Structure 1
Amino acid sequence: MPTKVKPPPAVTFAHPSEAEIARLLDFYGVRWEYEPRQFPLEWAEDGRPTKHFTPDFYLPDFDLYIEITTLKSSLANRKNRKLRRLRELYPDIQIKLLNARDVEALFTKYGRRGEEMNATKAEK
């Protein structure tokens, strides 16, 4: 009797752009994990972490974390500060920051939006 593969649990994304990136990664067969790890960035005097950074995606085949941000400069600046701190504390961690323009450029380059990718996969 064939073994059934259990599908992964449904993922609830914090932002629609994250769902679009996940669909793009799925379409191209890139394995990903959503928010798999928190990196402590600051600690209280008792050693307890007080500030963390949780990248949106981890691509295990590339050992690469990806963080998605919006174009709001206040949010982008805050994430950039956290990314700089993460790189100081964890220099061996590879991470890329994608802003809304980067995300749109990916979809423009690959010629697909999330809905089109799902339709194409369903046709196969």
Structure 2
Amino acid sequence: MNGSKPTSPRAARAKAGIRPDIDSKTYFFSRWEANYARMLNSTGVKWIHQPKRFKLKSQNYTPDFYLPESDKYIEIKNFLSEYSIKRDREFRELYPELELELILKVDYLKLEEEYAHLIPNWEFNNSKWVDR
């Protein structure tokens, strides 16, 4: 399991844990990550959670997902702090050959609107999901 630094007060309170309906070994750091994995599963997109740690100038960075069929990294962000913006900028500067897509709050909410009613176990803000 890779660690990460929360980049917003909400990220620090995120519902982290394993979701057995997705994978019995993958530890998700937030319900947004878990729901994104559910959406990928339901659409048949292959994914790897926190696939690789990249060395940046002043820190390491591990994107949330890698989509091997499209050779793309995904980072899900509720809030872009200065720390997140700096990390994103450094990643793009040091690894220009790699594609990194940010899924921001507005993007996530659109995905939720489109998929939540179709996917079992979708976690909402006040879900009673409990780590087992």
Which stretches in structure 2 are left out of the alignment for 5+ residues?
1-22, 122-132
Partner of 1:19: 34
Q: Deviation digits for residues 11-68 of structure 1, max 9, x if unmatched? A: 11011100000000000000000001011002xxxxxxx5111100000000000001
Q: Give 1:107's aligned residue.
A: 112
Which SS does the other structure have where 1:66 is aligned?
Answer: strand
Matched residue count = 100
Deviation at 1:10, TM superposition (A): 2.2
The ranges of structure 1 where at least 4 consecutive aligned residues each deviate by more than 2 angstroms after the TM superposition are none
The Cα shift of 1:70 comes to 1.3
Q: How does 1:1-124 map to 2 (within 5 A)?
A: 9-42=24-57, 51-71=59-79, 73-74=80-81, 77-108=82-113, 110=114, 112-113=115-116, 116-118=118-120
Which secondary structure state, in structure 2, belongs to the residue aligned with residue 118 of structure 1?
Answer: coil
d(CA) in 2 for partners of 1:32, 1:62: 10
RMSD value, Cα? 2.0
Q: Kindly name which structure, 1 or 2, has the bigger radius of gyration based on alpha carbons.
A: 1
CA distance in structure 1 between the partners assigned to 2:37 and 2:120 by the alignment: 11
Normalising by structure 2, what TM-score? 0.68
Counting helix residues as a fraction of each chain, which structure ranks higher?
1
Percentage of identical aligned residues? 34
Alignment gaps of 5+ in structure 1: 1-7, 43-49, 120-124
